[in-house]
Amino acid sequence: MKTTDRAALDDWYAVETAADLTATPVRTRLLGQDIELFRDAAGAPVIREILDDGGRGPALPVEERYGCVFTTLGRPNRGIVEIAEAAEPDRRFVPCGWVTMRASGLRVVENFLDMAHFPFVHTDILGSEPHTEVPHYLSEIRRDVDEVWATNCTFFQPRIAATEDKGDYVHLTYRVPSPFVVMLYRVCPTAPDRLDAIALFIQPLEEDLCRAQPVMYLVDSVSTQTALLRFEQVIFLQDRIIVENQRPLLLPLEPRAEIPTRADSSSIAYRRWLKEKGLRFGTTAGAA
């Protein structure tokens, strides 16, 4: 059933890879609502809600950005997230494909923010023992842009990028521009004065079911497309095992529902931000 949560409805969501959308209609779901997508005779994307009687509702707002098709079921008060790196012509654009997960999309965002799991889930890729401590970093809700940021993040990684086979401490910055979009900026090994940008777009199908696609904008003229895809997909599929085994599947926003540690600073800020927005979809409060 389509949610009534205005905080969830009034936002933009990536729901398909633009290159995969054709004149043949495809069905998917968004926020509990069945929708249909296709390209019209002029090649423009069209998205409509599928009504209870099988009919089609009026065309929904649609935009193509970052290699994806975006839509909304509500009335967003701002546009799709701005990713400045997408406009830099020398960057590699790597859409990594959709992965479906039996979990709240908010759990997926929180997992993306979590550095503490690197040595145990992404062993010998993003982390390794004995380098398990998460150094102190800064988390904040930036009121001027209404986003969550985590800065001054550092962590030891055995492979700091797909182009590298040596380990080092990497500098990371996390950004959450909307509840179901999260970004990572990391120093590029081949261009230390620039940052690679990785965005994770999440399509919340149901409260406890979502699919997500990482999209990367990299300064990398060396790696093959296959190597880049494999590097990111291995990491993401490892994450899926963890996310799908978390209980509850929905994200608790109540204080002390889950005991945080010092490493969970970004999660604490994220949950506070969601609660301030009144978001219920995908949370234990919404299921109550």
- Taking a C-beta distance cutoff of 8 angstroms, is the pair 12, 70 a contact? yes
- Structure tokens, 107: 């759990």
Cα–Cα distance for residue pair 115/97, rounded to 1 Å = 23
pLDDT at position 209: 96
Rg of the Cα atoms in the chain: 19
Cα–Cα distance for residue pair 115/239, rounded to 1 Å = 12
Cα–Cα distance for residue pair 249/122, rounded to 1 Å = 21
pLDDT at position 224: 82
- Taking a C-beta distance cutoff of 8 angstroms, is the pair 178, 12 a contact? yes
Neighbours of 120 (CB within 10 A): 12
Provide the CB-side half-sphere exposure for 64 (13 A, CA).
13
pLDDT under 50: residue ranges of the chain: 120, 122-123, 127
- Taking a C-beta distance cutoff of 8 angstroms, is the pair 195, 186 a contact? yes
SS (H, E, C) 206-217: ECCEEEEEEEEE
| DSSP secondary structure letter of residue 134 | -
Decide: pTM greater than 0.85: yes
Q: Which residues contact 244 (CB under 8 A, 6 or more apart)?
A: 101, 102, 103
pLDDT at position 132: 55
pLDDT at position 127: 46
- Pairing status of strand 26-30 against strand 13-17: unpaired
